[in-house]
Amino acid sequence: MIKTKIALILLLGTCITSFATPRKKMYPVNEIPESLKEDAVAVIREHEEIFEIESISKAYRKVKHVITILDENGDNYAVFNEWYDKFRSIEKIQILLYDKEGNLMSRVKSNEIEDYCSFSSFSLYEDNRQKLFIPNVNSYPYTISISFVNNYRGLFTYPTWQPSIGYDISVQKSSFRIITPQDFRFRYKESNLGIESELGEQGNKLNYYWEVQSLGADESEDYSPYYYRTTGVLYTAPSDFSIDGYAGNMDTWENLGLWQYSLLEGRDGLSDITKAQVKEIMDDASSKRDLVKKIYKYMQSRTRYVSIQEGIGGWQPFSSLQVDTDGYGDCKALSNYTMVLLKEAGIASFYTSVKAGRAIPDIQADFVSNQSNHVFLCVPLDSDTIWLECTSQVTPFGYIGNSTDDRHVLLVTPDGGKLVKSRTYTKNENVKTHLAIVDLNYESGSDLEIRSTYRGLRYDIVAPLLTRSVEERMKWVYNNTAIENASISDFSISRNPGSDVVPEITTTLKMDVKNYGSVTGDRWFLPMNLLTRIGSESIPERNSNRRTDIMYRSSSTDIDSVYYKIPEGYVIESVPQSMETVTVFGSYSVTLDIIENQILYVRRRTMNKGCYPSSKYNDFRQFYIDMQKMDNCHVVLIKA
């Protein structure tokens, strides 16, 4: 008994000593070099990523990510958000929070990490889920350390390593390692990294290693290219792969297309009733193009979009017969269904994968890999190619919008994948026009009527209003009308018939505007630019050390024509001269004509899509300054 007591006392003494020992400080902020704090809201202290491949269908990814948040503007970079599904699990999650001295503030418990469906708001079937943790820290700076393991049971996509994950973030150290069997083939592309891989052997395995240190924060610049195009990125991809029993090879776009085509096999059935309806449509069509249009309208009239994310649902559509029966599907299923309908009508078309999104850059066309997130349809005709967006019941025939236009897409054909460019909308198609008539009266109010057209990609500006209530429309008009002291009396909107591939919407607006311009004594100073004005906030910032090229993402044309009816008792005292400027970026002109008792003001601006060298930045900025000056021209009326 005495020996037991002595042992217990010794054990307690050891525990007390252990608890009394201060914990080691981790990642104190004072260890960050001052150069890395400059222009930064957060600093990546350490990022270590290891991707170990065991076979074409099995791999592990181990990540440790430590980031210091310097102020509230960097809080978004402290969020842990990782997805998983039946092919990719998340294991061994550890999240630690440290204060600025490096003391451990908290160890996040598993029940504090949310687990939710990735597409729950619009998905019918899914097994994609996400783990989410948002720290609630009010004292800055603080540091969060996140580590976890992904276990892959099917491989189609390999990780992308991007040491700097955004503007205003600096990097102390970031590394990426790929471990493979000796005879295993995979591919990678180094972009703007400034380093090459170190290759070594580790037993019977190969070890590829990349590391960067001390990367300062980049500042965002007006009209910059996409961040992915300017920062260092390592892209990786398999050669041979297998997922859910479907094996393939993506050494070439042709091979990747062959694999995608194999996912469509046996999914092309239609009911006898639908086949009979297609035959009726064929009998009624006046041309091959008209037939495609009628089939597309038929598909739109009897389907709706529902996301399907189950099993290999990220890449394989469910059958056209199921769409035919149930009347719904995701982008893959609806595109496949439309393709099958067209095939029944004797029209060949191609299932087409694309990286879609208004603010998403084009794919790396020189690096074959899974880069798509959407599917639509390509219909080659004798004299034209029609692109069909199959997920909307209201999208005009042949119109794809700026989510999928002007980018590389992969046509999935029986002979394999073919990389082509989707439709580009030109400055003669992306046109916004305003025709206004202003019956001037300063005191009681000027009556104003505006007829506007939005064409091409400009269609997307107002298209949502077609299905909104009168109240929602009026709210939109007030929020998007820059005319002061305006009272709106009427607004209407309609899509112009016959405008499909390049759709067009017309709006009419009537309003009363009091105190337009300014009156001093007998003179009325009348601004000519009533509708579309470049404000000082639109002028690119001064930048004497421009780093990145200048990117203008789409071509467009704006034309404003305004007739001002001069009221009785006033005459014109002065009219500015017509003006014009032409640059490589675009052109701008203003003309003023006197027609009896009216002043006709015409403003025309075109912008040219392109990527321009940084050395042209001052010229680009001056173009905006010149346009702003011309936008401020005035006519002076004087009492007779």
Give 22-40 pLDDT, tens digit per residue: 578 999 999 999 999 999 9
- pLDDT greater than 60 at residue 574: yes
The arithmetic mean of pLDDT across residues 522-535, rounded, is 91
Q: What is the mean pLDDT of the chain?
A: 92
Residue 53 burial (C-beta neighbours within 10 Å; 0-12, 13-18, 19+): buried
The arithmetic mean of pLDDT across residues 366-379, rounded, is 96
Q: Can you give the pLDDT at residue 547?
A: 92
Nearest Cα neighbor of 260 from 315, 305, 189 is 315
- pLDDT greater than 50 at residue 517: yes
Q: Can you give the pLDDT at residue 7?
A: 41
pLDDT band at 599; cut points 50, 70, 90: very high
φ/ψ of 48, rounded to 5, equals -125, 120
- pLDDT greater than 50 at residue 53: yes
Contacts of 177 (CB under 8 A, 6+ apart): 48, 49, 50, 51, 207, 208, 209, 210
Residue 119 near residue 307 (C-beta atoms within 8 A) = yes
Residue 585 token pair? 């970026």
- Quote the CA–CA distance of 59 and 151 in Å, as a whole number: 6
The arithmetic mean of pLDDT across residues 431-435, rounded, is 97
- pLDDT greater than 80 at residue 41: yes
- Quote the CA–CA distance of 159 and 148 in Å, as a whole number: 14
- Quote the CA–CA distance of 143 and 42 in Å, as a whole number: 9
Residue 234 token pair? 């390592």
Handedness of CA 299, 301, 307, 311 (dihedral sign): negative
- pLDDT greater than 90 at residue 561: yes
- pLDDT greater than 50 at residue 13: no
Element holding 152 (H helix, E strand): strand 142-153
Residue of 405 and 19 predicted with greater confidence: 405
- pLDDT greater than 60 at residue 195: yes
Contacts of 411 (CB under 8 A, 6+ apart): 257, 350, 351, 352, 378, 417, 418, 419, 420
- pLDDT greater than 90 at residue 92: yes
Residue 71 burial (C-beta neighbours within 10 Å; 0-12, 13-18, 19+): exposed
User: For residue 139, what are the CA distances in angstroms to 45, 72, 100, 105?
Assistant: 18, 9, 9, 11
Report how far Cα 101 is from the mean position of its chain's Cα atoms. 39
User: What is the tens place of the pLDDT at every residue in 139-173?
Assistant: 999 999 999 999 999 999 999 999 999 999 999 99
Q: Can you give the pLDDT at residue 483?
A: 86
pTM of the predicted model as reported, rounded to 2 decimal places: 0.90
- pLDDT greater than 70 at residue 274: yes
Contacts of 30 (CB under 8 A, 6+ apart): none
pLDDT band at 50; cut points 50, 70, 90: very high
What are the E-state strand segments in 261-381? 304-305, 307-309, 328-329, 350-354, 374-380
DSSP codes of every residue in 463-477: GGGGGS-HHHHHHHH
Residue 578 near residue 588 (C-beta atoms within 8 A) = no
**Three-state secondary structure call for residue 553:** coil
Residue 398 token pair? 């042949």
DSSP codes of every residue in 535-550: -GGGSPPP-TT--SPE
- pLDDT greater than 50 at residue 15: no
The arithmetic mean of pLDDT across residues 459-483, rounded, is 92
Q: Can you give the pLDDT at residue 118?
A: 62
Instruction: Say whether the peptide bond before residue 380 is cis (omega within 30 degrees of 0).
Output: no
- Quote the CA–CA distance of 50 and 2 in Å, as a whole number: 53
- pLDDT greater than 60 at residue 205: yes
Residue 526 near residue 558 (C-beta atoms within 8 A) = no
DSSP codes of every residue in 44-111: EEEEEEEEEEEETTEEEEEEEEEEEE-SGGGGGGG-EEEEEBTTEEEEEEEEEEE-TTS-EEEE--GG
- pLDDT greater than 60 at residue 202: yes
The arithmetic mean of pLDDT across residues 53-59, rounded, is 96
- pLDDT greater than 50 at residue 18: no
Q: Can you give the pLDDT at residue 307?
A: 79
**Three-state secondary structure call for residue 389:** coil
φ/ψ of 456, rounded to 5, equals 65, -135
- pLDDT greater than 80 at residue 189: yes
What is the amino acid identity at position 199?
L
Residue 224 near residue 230 (C-beta atoms within 8 A) = yes
Residue 478 near residue 467 (C-beta atoms within 8 A) = no
Which range, of 100-109, 313-322, 412-421, averages the lowest pLDDT? 313-322
Contacts of 34 (CB under 8 A, 6+ apart): none
pLDDT band at 8; cut points 50, 70, 90: very low
Contacts of 445 (CB under 8 A, 6+ apart): 487, 512, 513, 514
What is the amino acid identity at position 549?
D
Residue 419 near residue 369 (C-beta atoms within 8 A) = no
Q: What is the DSSP letter of 515?
A: S
User: What is the tens place of the pLDDT at every residue in 291-344?
Assistant: 999 999 999 999 999 877 655 757 899 899 999 999 999 999 999 999 999 999
Nearest Cα neighbor of 338 from 306, 380, 292, 374 is 292
pLDDT band at 69; cut points 50, 70, 90: very high
Residue of 245 and 376 predicted with greater confidence: 376
Q: Can you give the pLDDT at residue 308?
A: 72
Angle at 274 between CA 268 and CA 280, to 5 degrees: 125
Residue keyed to tokens 């001002």: 564
Q: What's the 3-state SS for 524-537?
A: EEEECCCCCCCCHH
Q: Can you give the pLDDT at residue 117?
A: 78
pLDDT band at 122; cut points 50, 70, 90: very low
Q: What is the DSSP letter of 410?
A: E
The arithmetic mean of pLDDT across residues 484-504, rounded, is 91
Q: Can you give the pLDDT at residue 535?
A: 84
Q: How big is the chain by its Cα radius of gyration, in Å?
A: 31
Q: Can you give the pLDDT at residue 16?
A: 40
The arithmetic mean of pLDDT across residues 249-268, rounded, is 96
